[in-house]
Amino acid sequence: MKKSLIQVAEGIVPADLVLKNGKVLNMFTEEILTADIAIAGDKIAGIGSYEGEQVLDCTDKYIAPGVIDAHVHIESSMVTPLEFARKIVGTGTTGIIADPHEIVNVCGAAGMDYILDATENIPVNAYVMIPSSVPATEFDTNGAGKFLAGDMEVYRKHPRVLGLGEMMRFTDVLSEHDETLEKLRCFSDMMIDGHAPGISGKDVQAYRAAGVLSDHECSTVEEGLEKLRAGFYILIREGSGAKNLNTLLEGFLKAGVSLDQCMFCTDDKHLEDIEREGHISTCVRKAIELGVEPVKAYKIASFNPARAYGLKGCGAIGAGYLADVLILDDLAGASPRTVIKSGHVVDENWLAGFSYKTEDKRLLNTVRIGKLDENSFRFKRKEKNHVMELVEDQLLTIHRYETVPGTGDRFVPDENYSKLAVVERHGKNGKVGVCPVKGYGIKNGAVATTVSHDSHNIIAVGDNDADILRAVQELEKIQGGYVIVSGGEVVDELPLRIGGLMSEENASDVQRKTGEMVEKARQMGVKKGVDPFITLSFMALTVIPEIRLTEAGIFDVNKMQFIDR
């Protein structure tokens, strides 16, 4: 029978589990206090002196709340929600706030239903934001078409839906676009996440006045401070493709501002990176290294997001709170010795009790391209051309206008310039966009993927048209994923059949294959500071400055217009 939390808290009946004599991080007062933690079922009954049916001696150990990823796209892990949860929970992440705008851009409501269903019974607390920007702009061709306020309304009452996902269409907010304002009105009583890289001055004030409450796109301390001072929650991002933590926290500490409005997020992070360095634990560890007080670092990772998103009973060690607990040998390492999730000690046996199978066949057949040949990827060389230059460890790009290599009017890649191509893959118009790109570095081959935020058309990069074509055709054959081609032959591939975004295989196999493919891409010249796949996947996203490529041509994000089609 379920024990009464009140009786356990009063010491009338023993707890199911007692964590004995640990150094407990108090999120309410930012103290570290030695005490026992009594757990009954999936809840914490009390903090103090307790006895239980099972006792874990935590003498000289620290006890912290499980941490929360405040903004993550599960699809970017390339595995199902269950496999993703299995991977991160052992690192101490016991909660995620997921924005499924990747799968919704591809599959619409079917994608939204899939994420809610697939996150229902997994070993982390999974909350969901409704994608706000499907498609990301009017200039994109996605699979779903528009996902409007009327389509979203049905999901508002779902118990794990917290609000509106990142409002990437910030220019539509500022220009008071009717469809965009209707979405903001629909979720005006809930959390509304933002996505507005580089805005400043009165645009920041207007964006906040519209009801947007957070932002995870700050790449400079000046931008972060301005948005903090305007009342935004700042989600400090440390993922695989974008790493903003050092810059922001160093600046915030130097400025002496409060960190109570700050949270940590990964946004997009590869399984290989999670295996090597951790998940949100990475953020905690780096924050402490930069000089953030340890309790404050854990608070940014747990209590702050729980409070911001209204997650009652999450994010702290306290009576009545969910028993999501980390037991650590030391705080600075941020690597838990033991993770307790909802009162259960996380181990292989417990994780094996979860299962999920994708049943909706609409999610498994989403790559449909038109007829292509090598001429589909020709790019006309002029005296000067618009060029996309990549920025190391950032999603931002630099817009160059310069002379590119080639013969006559034909652009030919060299050691400095590669060819970038985007191919519409939803069976709608068959368009192909091409442009020169600097800073990728591939030689003697091509890399291609159907993971291409946010419309997820095929994006490929290479130094010759034949290998680019071969890579694109192989993606249709395997119904999405990652492909590397050299000399006309497939060097390696990772099928991602669920929406062209996620694998049906287990996380270990996907992680191993991804690591192998990253290394092979490096051997073909892809530079350090550029993730061969994650960085590539953002080069078509028309809401991150300065320049992007879509299936319709080269796009100037600052001017929000095509400049070469």
Residues 6+ apart with CB under 8 A from 158: 116, 128
Residues 6+ apart with CB under 8 A from 422: 432, 433, 434, 452, 457, 458, 459, 460, 540, 549, 550, 551
Measured from the Cβ of residue 120, the count of other Cβ atoms closer than 10 Å reads: 12
Given a cut of 90, whether residue 136 has pLDDT beyond it is no
Mean pLDDT of 519-545: 92
State the pLDDT at residue 137: 84
- Decide if 170 contacts 207 (C-beta within 8 A): yes
Mean pLDDT of 10-17: 96
Cis before 546? omega within 30:
yes
Given a cut of 90, whether residue 534 has pLDDT beyond it is no
What is the rounded radius of gyration, in angstroms, for the C-alpha atoms of the chain?
24
- Decide if 317 contacts 26 (C-beta within 8 A): yes
Given a cut of 60, whether residue 357 has pLDDT beyond it is yes
What is residue 126's three-state secondary structure?
strand
Cis before 454? omega within 30:
yes
Phi and psi, residue 477, nearest 5°: -60, -45
- Decide if 17 contacts 56 (C-beta within 8 A): yes
Given a cut of 60, whether residue 108 has pLDDT beyond it is yes
- The per-residue pLDDT for range 370-387, each reduced to its tens digit, is 899 999 999 999 999 999
The CA distance from 178 to 191, in Å, is: 20
The CA distance from 500 to 480, in Å, is: 4
What percent of the chain lies above the pLDDT cut of 70?
Answer: 99
Measured from the Cβ of residue 189, the count of other Cβ atoms closer than 10 Å reads: 10
Closest CA to 99 of 162, 45, 176, 50: 162
**Alpha helix stretches (DSSP H) within 479-555:** 507-523, 534-537
Given a cut of 60, whether residue 72 has pLDDT beyond it is yes
Residues 6+ apart with CB under 8 A from 229: none
Phi and psi, residue 250, nearest 5°: -60, -40
Given a cut of 80, whether residue 99 has pLDDT beyond it is yes
Mean pLDDT of 49-62: 97
- The per-residue pLDDT for range 160-206, each reduced to its tens digit, is 999 999 999 999 999 999 999 999 999 999 999 999 999 999 999 99
Sheet strands (E) in 75-144: 93-98, 125-130
- Decide if 24 contacts 317 (C-beta within 8 A): yes
State the pLDDT at residue 9: 97
- Decide if 479 contacts 500 (C-beta within 8 A): yes
Would you state the structure tokens that stand for residue 327, as one six-digit string? Answer: 């037991």
Given a cut of 90, whether residue 564 has pLDDT beyond it is no
- Decide if 469 contacts 46 (C-beta within 8 A): no
Residues 6+ apart with CB under 8 A from 348: none
Per-residue pLDDT band at 2 (split at 50, 70, 90): low
Measured from the Cβ of residue 492, the count of other Cβ atoms closer than 10 Å reads: 15
Residue with tokens 């930012």: 30
Phi and psi, residue 433, nearest 5°: -110, 145
Intra-chain end-to-end CA distance of the chain, in Å: 68
Closest CA to 487 of 453, 517, 451, 524: 524
What is residue 392's three-state secondary structure?
coil
State the pLDDT at residue 140: 85
- The per-residue pLDDT for range 288-312, each reduced to its tens digit, is 999 999 999 999 999 999 999 999 9
Query: Which residue segments constitute the domains of the chain, with CATH numbers given?
Result: 66-315 (3.20.20.140), 363-564 (no CATH)
Mean pLDDT across the chain, nearest whole number? Answer: 96
- The per-residue pLDDT for range 359-369, each reduced to its tens digit, is 898 999 999 99
- Decide if 233 contacts 68 (C-beta within 8 A): no
The CA distance from 144 to 104, in Å, is: 7
State the pLDDT at residue 1: 47
Given a cut of 80, whether residue 473 has pLDDT beyond it is yes
Closest CA to 266 of 237, 246, 288: 237
